[in-house]
Amino acid sequence: MATNSNLNSGTNVSELIAKNKEKKSLNNYFEKSIPGILFLLASITVLTTIGILYTLVSQAVQFFMEVPILDFFTGTELNPLSQNPEFGILPLLNGTIISSLIAILVAGPIGLMSAIYLSEYATDKVRKVLKPLLEILAGIPTIVYGFFAFTFVTPLIRYLWPGVEATNILSPGIVMGVMIIPMIASLSEDAMNSVPNGMREGSLAMGTTKLETTIKVVIPAAFSGIMASFVLGISRAIGETMIVTIASGSSKNFTFDIRESMQTMTAFIVEVSGGEAPAGSTLHYSLYAVALTLFVFTLIMNLLAKYVSRKFREEY
Amino acid sequence: MEKLEALHLNNKIDARVRKNSIWKSIFFLSTLFGLVVLAVLIIRVLFQGMSWIDIDFIVGRLSTTAENAGIMGAILGTLWVMVVVIPVTLIIGVGTAIFLELYSKKGRFQSIIETNISNLAGVPSIVYGLLGLTVFVRLADLGNVVLAGGLTLALLVLPILIVSAQEALRAVPGHLSEASYGMGATKWQTIRRIILPAAIPSILTGAILALSRAIGETAPLTVLGIPALLIPFPEGLFDTFTALPMQIYYWTIDSSLVAEYANLAAATIIILLIILFLLNSVAIFIRNKYQHRY
C-alpha cells in the first residue's frame, strides 16, 4: 500500500530504490564491523593475561639478575631493608602455607558438613533460608574480615591461650577459613546435588540410614567435585591479602609456631609496595618475583582443581 | 534363640538410626557455625561503630583527631571509582559475552578465551594491583588517580561480569531470535532489539555483584599506593583519591597507636556494608521485578 501511494504522489521509483540500497549498504557496513568491534573487546581479557605475565616476568628477570634464583628459593632469611639485604622467599612461603593450612582445616570440615546438611538433610524451606545467608558471608569484603580478625578474634584467642602474640598467624588463618566456608559449601553441594537420586534411593532401599547413604554412596560419587572445592579453597586462601596483612604483622619469621607473627607473600607485597621501595631498586623488583611465585602457586592450584574434577569425575 | 537374634538386630538398627540423627544435628550445627560468626561480626561492628556515626562523620573531612574525623573524601573516592568501573566493565564485559555466545564459532579460539577468563578469575587480586601499578600508574603515567584505580578494579571484576552476562545471553530462548530473523532482521538488529533487552535484567544483576566486589576490594589499592592523607576531595578522573576500604585499612592498623581509630574503622565498615547492602537489594529487586520466565 505504501509503495502505491508513493507511486501516486509521483516520487521517482529508481530514486527510492537507490536510497534504499544506500541505506542497506550503510547498514551492511555497520553490520560487518560489529564482529570486529566485539572481537577487540573480547581480546582485552587476553591482553590482561599477557599484561600480567609480561609485567611479572620482565620485572622478576631484573630481580633475578641481582639475586641468584637459587638463593631466592632456598634462602631462609628475608631482610630486604637492612644494609646487606637478603632475599630468601622461604619465610614468606612458610607463612603462606601455614595460614592456608589453618584456613582449610577450619573451612574443609565445616564447609563439607554444611554441604552435606544442605544437600542431603535440609528441607527445601530450610535450604531457601540458609543458602542466601551463607552467600552473605561470601559477600563481606575481606578488609572487614581483617578488622574482625585483628580486633575480635585475636584478643579472644589470646584470652583463651595466653602466649599468643598480638599479631599471629593463627587468628587470620581461622578467619580466612570462615571466609572460604561458603565457597567450599556451595561447590561441594553442587557436586553432591549432581549425584543422581536413583543411587540414593537404591541405597536407602537396601535398608541403610541417610548417614550411611551419604558417606558410602553420595560422597564417593561426588568426590571429584568435593576435592576440587577444597583445592579452590586453598587457592583462595593463598591469594588472600588483607586479613593476613592486618592480623599477622610483618615479621619475616621462619618458624612453625602458629602463635607468632609471620608474613605471607601477599602481605609482603602490600608492605613493600605501600612503602618505601623506589622504582628500579632491588627491593622494588623483589615485589614482582614474589608476585610471580604467588601467581604460579595459585595458577597450579586452579589447574589442579580443574584436573581433579575432570579426571576423577564419575559419569552417570 | 530366634527372639534373641531379632532383639539384637533391633538394637543395631536403633543404634544406627540414633547415629544418623546425632550426625544430622552435627551437620546442622556446622551450617550454623558460619552464620553465627557472621552474626557476631555484624553485632560487634555495630556496637563498636554505631555511636560514632553522625552527620559530621559522614560529610566531614579526614582528621588526625578521632572526634573530628569524617569520611566524605573516602565516600566520594568510592563513588568516583564506580564512575569508572561501571561503564568500563559493562562495555567490555557485555561485548565479550556477546562475542563468545553469538559471534565466535565454537572452536579452539573460543575455548582459549574462555579458559583464559576462568583462569583470570582465579588470579589473586593483589596481582592485579601490581598490573595496575606497572601499566596504569607508571607506564601510562597516570599516577595513583581515580582513573588508574578504577581501571585496575574494572579488570579485576571483569571475569565475574563476563560469565554472568554469558549465562544471561544463553538463557534467552532461541525462538525469540528465530522470530526476529524470520521478520528479516539482521543479526545485530536481533541482538540489539531482541536478545539484549531480554537479557538485560540478568546482566544488570551480574554487573551489580561485580561492582560490589570492586568497591569492597582493598588489596589492589594498597599496591597502587592510594593514600589516606588529608588530601582534597576528588573532583575528577585525574585526581588522587582514597576509598572506603583503604580508610578502614589505615584506621585498623593504626588502632594499636590510637585506640579510637578502631571505632572509626568500625563506623566506616558500617557505611561500606550499608552501601553493599543497598547495591545487592537493587540487584535482587531487578532480578525479581524484570526477569521474564519463558
Same domain, B117 and B262: yes
At A215-250, the pLDDT tens digits run 999 999 999 999 999 999 999 999 999 999 998 877
B96 → closest Cβ in A45, A56, A301? A45
Which residues on chain B are in Cβ contact (under 8 Å) with A117?
A: 24, 27-28, 30-31
Residue B104 lies in a domain: yes
Give the HSE-up count for residue A178: Cα atoms under 13 Å, Cβ half-sphere: 28
Q: Average pLDDT of B61-71? A: 74
At B128-141, the pLDDT tens digits run 999 998 888 888 88
Flag whether pLDDT at A1 surpasses 50.
no
Mutation for A interface: B13, B30, B152, most A CBs within 10 A = B30
Return mean pLDDT, chain B: 86
Whole-complex ipTM: 0.89
> What whole-number percentage of chain A has pLDDT above 90?
42
Residue A195 lies in a domain: yes
- Burial of B1 (C-beta count, 10 Å sphere; 0-12/13-18/19+): exposed
Which residues, in sequence order, are CB contacts of B130 under 8 Å at separation 6+? A55, A56, A269, A273, A287, A288, A291, B223
Same domain, A145 and A293: yes
Sign of CA dihedral B133, B139, B141, B145: negative
Question: CA–CA separation, A268 vs A277, rounded Å?
Answer: 12
Question: CA–CA separation, B27 vs B202, rounded Å?
Answer: 33
Question: CA–CA separation, A289 vs A272, rounded Å?
Answer: 12
Domain hosting residue A34, numbered range: 13-66
Query: Domain holding A136: CATH number?
Result: 1.10.3720.10
Query: Domain holding B149: CATH number?
Result: 1.10.3720.10
Q: Which pLDDT score is estimated for A238?
A: 93
> What whole-number percentage of chain B has pLDDT above 90?
40
Domain hosting residue B47, numbered range: 2-52
At B151-202, the pLDDT tens digits run 999 999 999 999 999 999 998 888 988 999 999 888 888 998 999 988 988 8
Residue B2: pLDDT band with limits 50, 70, 90: low
Query: How many contacts, defined by CB atoms under 8 Å, are there between A and B?
Result: 242
Residue B57 lies in a domain: no
Same domain, B175 and B245: yes
At B241-285, the pLDDT tens digits run 888 999 899 889 888 888 888 888 999 999 999 999 999 888 888
Residue B15 lies in a domain: yes
Q: Which pLDDT score is estimated for B3?
A: 65
Interface touch B125/A241, C-beta < 8 Å: yes
Residue B65 lies in a domain: no
φ/ψ region of A153 (left if φ > 0, alpha if ψ in -120 to 50, else beta) reads alpha
Residue A6 lies in a domain: no
Paired with B25 in beta bridges are none
Same domain, A143 and A178: yes
Q: Average pLDDT of B25-30? A: 94
Same domain, B21 and B142: no
Same domain, A26 and A155: no
Q: Which pLDDT score is estimated for A11?
A: 66
Domain count, chain B: 2
Same domain, B157 and B231: yes
Same domain, A52 and A192: no
Paired with A78 in beta bridges are A87
Domain count, chain A: 2
Same domain, A234 and A108: yes
Residue B40: pLDDT band with limits 50, 70, 90: very high
Q: Which pLDDT score is estimated for A294?
A: 93
Q: Which residue of A has its CA nearest to B250?
A: A246
Q: Which pLDDT score is estimated for B229?
A: 62
Residue B59 lies in a domain: no
